[in-house]
Amino acid sequence: MTITSLRNDKSRRVLELGHDDGATAEISHQALRSGCRCSGCTAVRRAGGAVDVDAAIALEQITPVGVYGVQLTFSDGHDRGIYPWQLLLELSEIQAA
């Protein structure tokens, strides 16, 4: 499955993914921020902690990173994580479960 479109629904605080087969999926802004794989967030997880994210977090900006994925900027100022397409697919599957 390939992601063909992204739409940030700010009112519902979800990122909508469009797929090449016509299906759609959603990931909450909170789940996106919690799923960040930047070095700082990864270090917190490796130390046994969890990335603490306020439920009111909002996705503010989506910046393409080549053909690899996107960089997301959140309302708490966090913008260091790159979200490869595969990670977005995985997060959407977790959200749907």
How far is C-alpha 35 from the geometric centre of its chain's CA atoms?
Answer: 7
pLDDT in the model for residue 11: 98
pLDDT in the model for residue 96: 85
Q: Which pLDDT tens digit goes with each residue over 16-52?
A: 999 999 999 999 999 999 999 999 999 999 999 999 9
pLDDT in the model for residue 81: 86
pLDDT in the model for residue 1: 81
Residue 66: count other Cβ atoms within 10 Å of its Cβ: 7
Instruction: Locate 76 and state its tokens.
Output: 């708490």
Q: Which pLDDT tens digit goes with each residue over 78-94?
A: 999 899 999 999 999 99
Please state, in angstroms and rounded to a whole number, the distance separating the CA atoms of residues 33 and 52.
9
Mean pLDDT within 11-20: 97
pLDDT in the model for residue 95: 84
Determine the 3-state secondary structure of 22 from DSSP.
coil
Q: CATH assignment of 3-96, given 3.40.50.300, 3.30.2020.30, 3.30.390.50, 1.10.3720.10?
A: 3.30.2020.30
Inform me whether the pLDDT recorded for 97 exceeds 80. Answer: no
